Chains A and B, each alone.
Chain A
Amino acid sequence: MGVILHSLAKRDEMVAVLENLSGKHLKGKGRALRLCLMALLTGGHILLEDIPGLGKTTMALAFASALGLSFGRVQCTSDLLPSDITGLSIYDRNEGRFSFVKGPIFNNIVLIDEINRAMPKTQSALLEAMEERRVTVEGVTYQLPDPFLVLATQNPAEQVGTFPLPESQMDRFVMRTGIGYPPEEIEKEILMHGSIRDEILHIPALVTHRDLVEAIEAVRHQVYLGEKVTDYVYAIIAATRNHPLIQTGISTRGGIGLVEAAKAAAYLAGRPFVVPEDVREVAPVVCAHRLIFRPEQEGVDKEQLLNALLQEIPLPLT
C-alpha cells in the first residue's frame, strides 16, 4: 500500500471479528454488525428497528459469542416489571437472609426485544441503567459489567398495545438502524440450510476481554478529531437546527454521539484521525432518530431528509 499508518491498538483483531462473522455466519448483515461493533466501541447502545424474523437475535448471539462476551436477553411484554430486568432480592432459607439475584441486564451484551412493548416504567428503568451503567436495587448499587452494550429492538409495524419510545428516550441510543432483508442469493442459501442458531452457539471467541477494553480505549484516545472535521460536524448540527421542517434539531448529546461514532468508524477504517467521510457515513444512523419534526411534517422520512441535508453541506477539503 505504500503508506504506513500509526497502528491502532487491536484494530486488526476487531476487523477480523467483523470479517469472520459477516463472511461465515451472518451473511448480509455486515453493515448492522459493523454498526453494533461501533456502538460497543463508543460505549453507546443501539436500537434496531425492524420487523421480527430478520435475525436480530441470531446476530446479537453470534456477536456476543464471537467477542467472548456474556449475553442476556429480555423479551418485553406489557406486564414486564423493572425487577424482571434488573433482578431482585430473594430470601435464602439456608442462609437465612435475602440475597440479590442478578437480572439479565448484568451481561455484556443485552438484547431487549421489542422494547416498545414494555410499559413506560420498565422502559425508563432500563434506559436509566443504560445511561448510568449501574443498577440500584433496594438501596444497594451494583455496577454493570464492562463493556456493556444494549441492543434494543423495536417493531415499527405493530402499534397496538405498545408504548413507543418518546424522542427524548431515543436520544439515549447512539444509533438507530434497521437490518433489512438479506440479499436474494444469501436468503436462498439461508432457506436451503435452515436456521443456524445451534451453530452460532458454538462460535469460538475470537478476541479476549482485554483486547476489547484496549480497543475501546484506542477509539477514545488514539483517534484524533481535527478542527476542520469539528466544523463539519457543527455544520451538520446547525443545519438540522435551522431546517424549516424540523422542530428540534440534534442536541449536544447527539453531536457527541456523532463524533464518537465517527471516531469508531475511523478506527475501524484504520485511520488515527477522523475524516468528514466518517462523519457522513454514520450521520444518518446517529442523527436521524433524534430529529423531531414539526407536527404537520411527521410523515417525512427522517433518514432521507438527513441525507438531503448532508448533500448540501460541502466536505471540507482545504
Chain B
Amino acid sequence: MVRVKSVLSTLTLCVALIGYLPLAPYLDPLATWCFPAGLVAAWYQQRSGRTLSGRILTPASILLFLYYASGMNRDNLLSVTANLLVMFLSVRLVGEKSGRNYLQIFALALFCLAASSLYNLSALFLVYLLALLLLLAVSLVVLTFHAHDADLALEHPQLKKVLGVAGLMPVAALPILLVLFVILPRTQFPLWDFLNRGGGNRAGFSDKVKPGAAASVTEVKAVVLRASSPKVPENRLYWRGIVLNALEGNAWVRVPGPQERSMVPGSAEQVRQEIYPEPSNSPYLVALNIPRQISGLRSVNEADVVFKARAPLDKRVKYEAVSTLSDLVRVNGGIDRDFYLGVPAQVSPRMREAARQLSQSGRSDADKLRLLERFVRSQRISYATSGLPVGNDALDDFLFGKKRGSCEFFASSSAILLRLAGVPARLVGGYRGGNYNQMGGYYQVTEDMAHVWVEAYLDGRGWVTVDPTAWSIGFGRQAALGDTLRMYADALGFYWNKAVISYDLDKQISLVRKAGGAVRQLHLPAFSLKGTLVGLSWLLPLGAAVLWYLGRSVSREERLLRRFLRAVARRYPTLTVERSGLFDLAQRTGDPQVREFAIIYGSALYGDRRLQPVELENLKRLVRGINQHHP
C-alpha cells in the first residue's frame, strides 16, 4: 500500500525543483540558498509529518516581499520578480499543504520556469518544460485523489495504473504541441529581453586593439559563432573579422582606408561554410581566412576584405561564406604605402633601434619580415593572458622587459616594428581555432579564441598573413579536448537554434525533403558497429528485464491460454484464431482435445472459479497433445 499523500509530496518536491533549477544561475545568493534549505525542510517535514503554521509563514512572506520590492527599479524588474518567485516557492514548500497549497506550488514552479525563459531560451528549457509538464499532469491527477480522501492509500498495481494513465495525458497532447509549433509565432530573443539591463554587449572581438590597457584578459567561454563546414587543418583555422589599419595614440583602430583593389586568389583550396553567429552588436561578418564571398545576408565588402553587415547582427541570422585557405591577398595596382606606414607618436628607443636594424640588414620587405621573426623568437617571449605589461610603454616592456604578452602584444609590436622598418602592415582581428563538433559537423568558436594577427604587404606578392603569436614560447592552443557530453549538449543547442528559434516553414519543408533523401542514402559510419555492439549490450539486458517484468504480471491461466491458441493456430492453419471463442474453436475444429480444453478451461473461467492443479495438469497435457499432432 502506498499513501497518496506521500506520492503527492514527492511529486511536489520534484515539480518545485524543476521550477528552481533553470532559474538558479540568475538568482541572488539569498534566494539561491533559501530554496535548497526549503526543499530539505519540506522533505524532513514529509518524513516527520510536522509542518510550520501559517502564522509564521505569512508574515515571513510579507517581509520578503517588502525586502525585495524596496530594491526594485525599472532595470531589475525581472531579477526581483525571479527572486521573489523562488522565495515564495521555498516558503510554500515548508508550509502546511492543503490542496490549494499544492496548486500554488505548481503554479509558482511554472512561473519560475517561465521566468527563466526571460533570461535564456536554450534547448535545455525545452527539456525542463517537458519534464515539468509531465510531472504536473501526473501531480494534478494524484492531487484529485488526495482531494477526495487525504488519507487514501493505493495498492501498488493501482498506483502504477494511475500514474501510467496520468503520464499518458501529456503524451497524448504532443500532436497538438506539434500543430501549435507550426502555427504559433516564435521569438528569436529571450522573451522580454528589454527587462534585462545591458544585454548584448558580447562583441566577439573589439574593433580597437590597445595593448597595455589591462593586466589580464578574461577568457570567456561563451559561444561566438557556429560554422557548418568540412574539417579544416588546424593551422588554417583563422577566422577573419576585422582589419585595423591605423593607429590612434597607442591603440589600433579601423578608419576608412584608401581604395585598393584586393583580390583573393581562387587557386588554393576553397571552403564553403554556413555560419550562425550568436547575436551581438558587431556588424562584422566572420569567416575563415580569407573569405572570397559572403551571401545570404546583405553586406558590404570593404577594400581590405572585411565584410560588414548592413543591419546589426542582434538577432539570429545565418550566412554562407566561401573562403580560400591561403595567406595572401593580392592587390591590383598597389597600395597607398604611406597610409600603412603610420606609427605612434611615442615609440621607445629600444623599439626604434630594433626597427633600424631590421631595415638596415633587410634588403627586401620579405627579408625584413624574416628578420623580424628571428628577432621576436630571439627575445624568447612567452604567451600569456595574465600578468601583462601595462602603461604607455607596454610594448617596450613586452619586448624587452616582462617578455610575456597576449596576441595583441605580439601583433601590435610586430606591426609597428614592420612599419618602422618601412614595410606596410596592418592588424587583422578575428578568431583562431575552433572546436569541431563531429556530430553536428560544425565548428564552435568561443569568445576566448579571439585573436589578432598581422598582414604585411610584400611588393610583388600582396598582403601576406603573418601570425607573430606563433613565434612565442608556449603558444599553441591546447587541443580542445571537448568532452563528449558537452559536444552533444552543444549540438543539441545548435539544432534547437537552427530548427526552432530561427524556424521558418520553407526551411522546415526542405528539411523534411532532405530527410527523405538522407534516409534513402543512409549509410552507417564505420565506427558504428562497435557503438552498436556496446549499445546492444546495454539494451538487451534492459529489454529482457522489461519483458520479464511484463511477463510476470501475466497469470498462469493466461499463459496457458496463449499456448493453447498458438497450438491450435499451428495445427489448423486455415482457422482464424483471433476473436473466436474456445467453444467456437472446438466446434469448428471438431477436435476432441480442443473441445476438452474448452470445457475444462471454460468451466473454470465462466464458472467464476480458479483452475484446480489437476485441471491445470490436464490442460497442459491437452496442449501438448494438440502440438504433437503437428507433422
A:244-292 near B, CB below 8 Å: 269, 271-277, 280
Nearest Cβ distance between residue B432 and chain A, in whole angstroms? 70
Asked if A5 is at the interface of the complex by the 8 Å CB criterion, the answer is yes
Taking CB atoms, residues of chain A closer than 8 Å to B600 are 3
How far, in angstroms, from A226 to B608 measured CA to CA in the complex?
6
Which of B247-255, B299-307, B509-517, B576-584 is the interface stretch? B576-584
Nearest Cβ distance between residue B587 and chain A, in whole angstroms? 8
Asked if B154 is at the interface of the complex by the 8 Å CB criterion, the answer is no
Taking CB atoms, residues of chain A closer than 8 Å to B596 are 1-3
Q: How many A-B residue contacts, CB cutoff 8 Å?
A: 61
Asked if A314 is at the interface of the complex by the 8 Å CB criterion, the answer is yes
How far, in angstroms, from A318 to B562 measured CA to CA in the complex?
10
Taking CB atoms, residues of chain A closer than 8 Å to B581 are 275-277, 280, 315, 317
Establish whether residues B579 and A226, one from each chain, have CB atoms under 8 Å apart when the complex forms. no
Establish whether residues B599 and A318, one from each chain, have CB atoms under 8 Å apart when the complex forms. no
Asked if A136 is at the interface of the complex by the 8 Å CB criterion, the answer is no
Establish whether residues A229 and B606, one from each chain, have CB atoms under 8 Å apart when the complex forms. yes
Taking CB atoms, residues of chain B closer than 8 Å to A311 are 579
Which A residue's beta carbon lies closest to that of B593?
Answer: A2
Which of B156-164, B402-410, B553-561 is the interface stretch? B553-561
Which A residue's beta carbon lies closest to that of B554?
Answer: A318
Taking CB atoms, residues of chain A closer than 8 Å to B440 are none
Taking CB atoms, residues of chain B closer than 8 Å to A293 are none
Asked if B167 is at the interface of the complex by the 8 Å CB criterion, the answer is no
Cβ-defined partner of B579 (8 Å) among A269, A272, A275, A315: A315
Which B residue's beta carbon lies closest to that of A2?
Answer: B596
Cβ-defined partner of A1 (8 Å) among B592, B602, B605: B592
How far, in angstroms, from A273 to B582 measured CA to CA in the complex?
14
A:19-50 near B, CB below 8 Å: none
Taking CB atoms, residues of chain B closer than 8 Å to A226 are 605-608
**Which of B561, B580, B606: most chain A Cβ within 10 A?**
B606
How far, in angstroms, from A277 to B606 measured CA to CA in the complex?
11
Taking CB atoms, residues of chain A closer than 8 Å to B101 are none
Establish whether residues B606 and A274, one from each chain, have CB atoms under 8 Å apart when the complex forms. yes
Establish whether residues A318 and B557, one from each chain, have CB atoms under 8 Å apart when the complex forms. yes
Asked if A132 is at the interface of the complex by the 8 Å CB criterion, the answer is no
Given A224-B607, A228-B605, A275-B606, are A2 and B592 also a contact pair (CB < 8 Å)?
Answer: yes
Taking CB atoms, residues of chain B closer than 8 Å to A274 are 606
How far, in angstroms, from A260 to B555 measured CA to CA in the complex?
31
Nearest Cβ distance between residue A74 and chain B, in whole angstroms? 39
Establish whether residues A314 and B579, one from each chain, have CB atoms under 8 Å apart when the complex forms. yes
Taking CB atoms, residues of chain B closer than 8 Å to A273 are 602-603, 606-607
Taking CB atoms, residues of chain B closer than 8 Å to A227 are 608
Which A residue's beta carbon lies closest to that of B606?
Answer: A226
Taking CB atoms, residues of chain A closer than 8 Å to B599 are 3, 5, 271
How far, in angstroms, from A272 to B607 measured CA to CA in the complex?
9
Taking CB atoms, residues of chain B closer than 8 Å to A269 are 583
Taking CB atoms, residues of chain B closer than 8 Å to A280 are 581
Taking CB atoms, residues of chain B closer than 8 Å to A276 are 581, 606
Q: For this complex, into which size category does the number of interface residues on chain A fall? A: 20 to 34
How far, in angstroms, from A227 to B596 measured CA to CA in the complex?
22
How far, in angstroms, from A156 to B439 measured CA to CA in the complex?
76
How far, in angstroms, from A317 to B582 measured CA to CA in the complex?
8
Which A residue's beta carbon lies closest to that of B583?
Answer: A277
Residue-wise interface mask of B (583-600) relative to A, using a CB-CB cutoff of 8 A (1 in contact, 0 not): 110000000100110011
How far, in angstroms, from A19 to B432 measured CA to CA in the complex?
100
Which B residue's beta carbon lies closest to that of A278?
Answer: B583
Residue-wise interface mask of A (284-318) relative to B, using a CB-CB cutoff of 8 A (1 in contact, 0 not): 00000000000000000000000000010011111
Taking CB atoms, residues of chain A closer than 8 Å to B605 are 226, 228, 316-318
Cβ-defined partner of B595 (8 Å) among A1, A275, A317, A318: A1
Which B residue's beta carbon lies closest to that of A318?
Answer: B558
B:83-109 near A, CB below 8 Å: none
Taking CB atoms, residues of chain A closer than 8 Å to B606 are 224, 226, 228-229, 273-276
How far, in angstroms, from A318 to B558 measured CA to CA in the complex?
6
Residue-wise interface mask of A (221-236) relative to B, using a CB-CB cutoff of 8 A (1 in contact, 0 not): 0001011110000000
Nearest Cβ distance between residue B550 and chain A, in whole angstroms? 15
**Which of B558, B581, B596: most chain A Cβ within 10 A?**
B581
How far, in angstroms, from A147 to B555 measured CA to CA in the complex?
46
How far, in angstroms, from A243 to B465 measured CA to CA in the complex?
82
How far, in angstroms, from A276 to B557 measured CA to CA in the complex?
18
Taking CB atoms, residues of chain A closer than 8 Å to B582 are 275, 277, 317
Nearest Cβ distance between residue B398 and chain A, in whole angstroms? 86
Nearest Cβ distance between residue A281 and chain B, in whole angstroms? 10
Taking CB atoms, residues of chain A closer than 8 Å to B603 are 5, 271-273
Which A residue's beta carbon lies closest to that of B605?
Answer: A228
Taking CB atoms, residues of chain B closer than 8 Å to A314 are 579
How far, in angstroms, from A274 to B600 measured CA to CA in the complex?
13
How far, in angstroms, from A269 to B561 measured CA to CA in the complex?
23
Taking CB atoms, residues of chain B closer than 8 Å to A275 are 581-583, 602, 606
Establish whether residues B580 and A315, one from each chain, have CB atoms under 8 Å apart when the complex forms. yes
How far, in angstroms, from A274 to B596 measured CA to CA in the complex?
16
Nearest Cβ distance between residue A31 and chain B, in whole angstroms? 15
**Which of A272, A317, A318: most chain B Cβ within 10 A?**
A317
Cβ-defined partner of B561 (8 Å) among A5, A224, A317: A317
How far, in angstroms, from A275 to B598 measured CA to CA in the complex?
10
Residue-wise interface mask of A (193-230) relative to B, using a CB-CB cutoff of 8 A (1 in contact, 0 not): 00000000000000000000000000000001011110
How far, in angstroms, from A226 to B592 measured CA to CA in the complex?
24
Which B residue's beta carbon lies closest to that of A314?
Answer: B579
Taking CB atoms, residues of chain B closer than 8 Å to A224 are 606-608
Taking CB atoms, residues of chain A closer than 8 Å to B580 are 315
How far, in angstroms, from A2 to B593 measured CA to CA in the complex?
9
How far, in angstroms, from A201 to B558 measured CA to CA in the complex?
54
How far, in angstroms, from A253 to B116 measured CA to CA in the complex?
63
B:595-627 near A, CB below 8 Å: 595-596, 599-600, 602-603, 605-608
Nearest Cβ distance between residue B452 and chain A, in whole angstroms? 76
Nearest Cβ distance between residue A144 and chain B, in whole angstroms? 35
How far, in angstroms, from A316 to B579 measured CA to CA in the complex?
9
Which A residue's beta carbon lies closest to that of B608?
Answer: A226
Nearest Cβ distance between residue A283 and chain B, in whole angstroms? 13
Which B residue's beta carbon lies closest to that of A313?
Answer: B579
Nearest Cβ distance between residue B382 and chain A, in whole angstroms? 79
How far, in angstroms, from A226 to B603 measured CA to CA in the complex?
10
How far, in angstroms, from A314 to B582 measured CA to CA in the complex?
12
Taking CB atoms, residues of chain B closer than 8 Å to A2 are 592, 596
Nearest Cβ distance between residue A236 and chain B, in whole angstroms? 14
Taking CB atoms, residues of chain B closer than 8 Å to A272 are 603
13 contacting pairs across A/B (C-beta < 8 A): A224-B608, A226-B608, A228-B606, A228-B608, A273-B602, A275-B583, A275-B606, A277-B584, A280-B581, A316-B605, A317-B581, A317-B582, A318-B605
Residue ranges of A at the interface with B (Cβ–Cβ < 8 Å): 1-3, 5, 224, 226-229, 269, 271-277, 280, 311, 314-318
Residue ranges of B at the interface with A (Cβ–Cβ < 8 Å): 555, 557-558, 561, 579-584, 592, 595-596, 599-600, 602-603, 605-608
Known A224-B608, A280-B581, A315-B581; 15 more pairs at CB < 8 Å? A1-B595, A228-B606, A269-B583, A273-B602, A273-B603, A274-B606, A275-B581, A275-B606, A277-B581, A277-B582, A277-B584, A314-B579, A315-B580, A317-B581, A318-B605
Shortest Cβ-Cβ A-B pairs, 9 listed = A226-B606, A315-B581, A277-B581, A226-B608, A277-B583, A318-B558, A273-B607, A273-B606, A3-B599
